[in-house]
Structure 1
Amino acid sequence: MNSQAMELSSSLIIPPHRNLYPKPYDSMNLLYIIMLLHGIGMLIPWNVFINANSYFVDYKLNPNVTGTHEYKENFISYLGVISQLPNVILMALNLFVQFGSSTKNINPKAYQTQPRIPISIIINVMMCIVTVILAILDTSTWPKAFFILTMITAAITNSAAGIYQSSIFGLAGSLPMKYTNGVIIGNNVCGTLFAVVYILAIYASPNLRLSAIWYFISAQFVLLACFDSYFALPLLKFYRYHLRTLVKSEQTDGDVQDTSRKYKLNDYYSVFTKIWIQCFGVFFCVFVTFTIYPTLLVKIEKKDPNFFISDKYFQAIIIFLNYNFFSLVGNLVTEKFKKPGPKSVWLPILMRVFFIPLFLFCNYHPDIRKVPVLIKYDFVYAMLSILLAASHGYFLSLTMMYAPSLVEPRMAQLAGMMATLFMIIGLLCGLNFALLVSKLF
């Protein structure tokens, strides 16, 4: 071979560091928007029920109608436990039982993450329809049956949402870190959005019944949008690129031998040892928040009759809108600022425990409380609510983003699902602990 031919040949050799298929980018942030939308959809069942607290306790379960205070006083507590207990169980099954989740022989261009995601969305849509029907019916002569049906509906829809939530966080865990935060931002957009929708429904409707009907119908439209957007995922080059990366990683490591089970028992132990600080952080952050919100907050009453927010909107704005909006702000801050690091993030999260006595010293259950009210100004109570929400959003985003980033790419989905399970366990424990704390005051 002459020198010219050799020179030409060498110029055609692709250096080993070059990539024949360069990494695509997220065009128009479509994948990020879809992840954010699913972040909204996964928390619709929970937010729809708790934001409509006044519809349930002041209209459907009003003591003047039911003849008992039992349903009104314990509605939020019962709702939390009944909703989240099956949620935890099914999410744990979703974590450990990975049927059909093997990536062996997958064609990434036709890949859909899990059939469990659209099935979960369909179940939620059906339960929303049941809730609308119950709102339309006159249930004044059968309040106990209405209460039981509502709890059954909440249990079913939140159980489906648990599987939906775990699957989406697992999917986001295999993508860059910001997509996990996009899901969490969507969670708080959901709360903020439906708090605003409920306030508008109260304002525009002549009664709580009609406002609730429009409110529940709006939730169905958002869920249907989530259902449609899910099937757009394989059309996105950016999504397919990361799927191929995940498939290649698993096939290279030789871990795709059993098509009915994606992870080995040793994988769970290995991942947990790397992210246990984040799991604790997620758990305790949510535990403190849901000890207070919404169980204790809904029983804190306005003290100053001249406060600029009227009684009609006080709960909807100060509790639900305020919490969800500033939690969203906390989420967004982590897009630019990520401190402290993975090893020390647990310390400020632990300090949030002081929020619990502070809120109990507000005007909590003024008629039956055993200790005096020390925080007597509604403005101070509102500021405490802002701090609770913002710190929750910030630290939850931080820990949920850290978890998948601390393990190798093929384990990122498992880390995301594991952190999500600890989040739901923290929620359930917080709601139950609120019942104990309330007895002390």
Structure 2
Amino acid sequence: MTTTSDRDTSANYDVNKFANSFNSQDESNVQLISVTPKPEQSFITKRNGAAHSEFGSPDEKNKFISLNSAPVQLDPGLDSLHRSAQFTNDEKHSLDHPPPDRYRMVFFIFLIHGIGILMPWNMFITAKKYFEDYKLDTPTSKDATYRSEFMFYLGIVSQVSCALISCVNTFFQFGGRASTRRIAIAIFMMVIIFIFTVILAMIDTSSIPLIFFGLTMASASLLNCCGGVYQNLTFGLAAILPMKYTNAIVLGTNLSGVFTSVINLLSIAGAPNPRTSAVYYFIVAIVVLLVAFDCYFLLPLTKYYQYYLKSVHGSQPVDEKKMACGDYLRAFVDSCKTYWVVIKKPGPKRVWIPIVLRALVLIPVYLLCNYQPIGVVRRFPVYIPSDIVFILAGIIMAFTSGYYSSLSMMYGPKEVEPSMMGRAGMMMAFFLVLGITSGVNLSLVLQRLVTTKLV
């Protein structure tokens, strides 16, 4: 026969046992559980004429969380806002199934990054008339070489700077993943340089055209250095995601040119004064970069990106603040060895064939068409006088360039191990920039080959 004291002792033992196990748990695994005595240990008391157990009625017990329930967790995912309870239950079923990219938030984030990456380059080349026919059209610089060949100098300075800094940024990544902190610094620096460009547009520089030219070239160089870092690391971030997110960046870079051209036309139509339209024009670039800056901080808050980031098992980025000179050298050597391993695995092995064929066919077509800029003469006669052929060749070149660059950028990172995807994405971005730089310089060489200045 069990006495009341025995029941009290047994109940106290259970409570003490629970308390000890509770104290031994890690804080991250804390759960709220109900403490109920065993059926044979319960006794009935009279309260207001009704029978109640010592620990309350069954309805009161249900207000607590059962022992088998999951612990309460905070959900920092931005894409978890305003979701239904059904989505919360579905999300728990397995870690093998990634959460959906709700509202295509991650896709649009990378699309905006793609627009921001080429914004500096597109802004400067689209404002050709502003630089040549307004800022540099002065009595002292009207016939100067730096005015007549402004785009030549701009192309060299911009693309070479972008390629060099992209190379440095690619081969000085330690730990196998992109140092995302550099993205924020690059975007912030681009905003500062555009603010300086707006100030130059508001100042009368007619008496100092050469100084204005030098400052413009310096601004273009710094902008494209930051753009090279920005582009390189963004492709590295997207490499761990499905291929369509890399394509979102490429799509954004293509839309950047269209967007910039439209903004240029609207600024000219809205403000006939060249100085005012230039101010509005460059302010739009600042706004776009600020939106991209916000997107940089939004990306890690999405559960979709968090899932793929955790699924990449590999070495983590090294804290460069704690590295000595010898550490940098050893890390650089190790990094080069890893890059060679990645290079030995490129994407579709035959994708280079159509790329080479289009260059061998279309470039000679351009040279034989009716190409003759103002102020120069051709070295040999025109063999294809039809402008339609020139336009069709341009359309084919643009279409195939967008298609094959997207194909290469999407497939490249997927040919390596998950831990190397970020590094492969940065390498693909570097070689893309290197190819563009080589193409720009080759076009200048071909221009000199076909034409010569009037005497």
Normalised by the size of structure 2, how large is the TM-score? 0.71
Query: Aligned partners of 1:264 and 1:434: how far apart in 2?
Result: 34
Query: Aligned partners of 1:257 and 1:169: how far apart in 2?
Result: 16
1:344 and 2:350 aligned: yes
Paired amino acid for 2:351? V
Deviations along 1:269-307, one digit per CA (max 9) or x if unpaired, are 1100111xx5xxxxxxxxxxxxxxxxxxxxxxxxxxxxx
What's 2:45 paired with? none
1:158 and 2:164 aligned: no
- The structure 1 residue matched to 2:444, chosen from 426, 435, 438, is 435
1:62-101 correspondence runs (5 A): 62=137, 66-98=141-173
Paired amino acid for 1:349? I
The worse-fitting range, judged by mean Cα deviation, of 74-83 and 389-398 is 74-83
What's 2:290 paired with? 224
What's 2:453 paired with? none
1:28 and 2:108 aligned: no
Deviations along 1:172-200, one digit per CA (max 9) or x if unpaired, are 11111111000000001111100111122
Number of positions where the alignment pairs a residue of Structure 1 with one of Structure 2: 344
Structure 2: which 5+ runs fail to align? 1-92, 321-330, 451-455
Task: Please give the secondary structure, in 2, of the residue aligned with 1:368.
Answer: strand
Q: Would you say the 8 A contact 2:198–2:283 is kept in 1?
A: yes
User: Over aligned residue pairs, what C-alpha RMSD do you find?
Assistant: 2.3
Query: Aligned partners of 2:366 and 2:144: how far apart in 1?
Result: 24
What's 1:176 paired with? 242
* Distance verdict in 2 for CA 1:74–1:237, change over 3 Å: same
Query: How far apart are 1:231 and its partner, in Å?
Result: 0.7
Query: How far apart are 1:64 and its partner, in Å?
Result: 5.2
Normalised by the size of structure 1, how large is the TM-score? 0.73
* Distance verdict in 2 for CA 1:207–1:64, change over 3 Å: farther
Query: How far apart are 1:67 and its partner, in Å?
Result: 3.2
* Distance verdict in 2 for CA 1:375–1:130, change over 3 Å: farther
- The structure 1 residue matched to 2:269, chosen from 203, 209, 227, is 203
Of Structure 1 and Structure 2, the greater helix share is in: 1
Query: Aligned partners of 2:139 and 2:357: how far apart in 1?
Result: 42
1:251-290 correspondence runs (5 A): 255=315, 264-275=335-346
Q: Would you say the 8 A contact 2:162–2:224 is kept in 1?
A: yes
- The structure 2 residue matched to 1:60, chosen from 132, 135, 150, is 135
Paired amino acid for 1:413? G
Q: Would you say the 8 A contact 2:194–2:285 is kept in 1?
A: yes
* Distance verdict in 2 for CA 1:363–1:208, change over 3 Å: farther
Query: Aligned partners of 1:20 and 1:413: how far apart in 2?
Result: 22
What's 1:301 paired with? none
* Distance verdict in 2 for CA 1:257–1:35, change over 3 Å: closer
- The structure 2 residue matched to 1:137, chosen from 203, 214, 237, is 203
What's 1:4 paired with? none
Identical-pair percentage: 41
- The structure 2 residue matched to 1:363, chosen from 368, 371, 376, is 371
Q: Would you say the 8 A contact 1:102–1:259 is kept in 2?
A: no
Query: How far apart are 1:427 and its partner, in Å?
Result: 1.8
What's 1:403 paired with? 412
What's 1:234 paired with? 300
Q: Would you say the 8 A contact 1:128–1:219 is kept in 2?
A: yes
Task: Please give the secondary structure, in 1, of the residue aligned with 2:345.
Answer: helix
Structure 1: which 5+ runs fail to align? 1-17, 104-111, 279-341
Paired amino acid for 2:340? Y
Q: Would you say the 8 A contact 2:136–2:142 is kept in 1?
A: no
1:286-305 correspondence runs (5 A): none
Higher relative contact order (CA 8 A, sep 6+): 1
* Distance verdict in 2 for CA 1:59–1:65, change over 3 Å: farther
* Distance verdict in 2 for CA 1:362–1:143, change over 3 Å: same
Query: Aligned partners of 2:103 and 2:417: how far apart in 1?
Result: 28
Task: Please give the secondary structure, in 2, of the residue aligned with 1:174.
Answer: coil
* Distance verdict in 2 for CA 1:155–1:359, change over 3 Å: same
Query: Aligned partners of 2:430 and 2:310: how far apart in 1?
Result: 26
- The structure 1 residue matched to 2:423, chosen from 390, 414, 434, is 414
Q: Would you say the 8 A contact 1:77–1:432 is kept in 2?
A: no
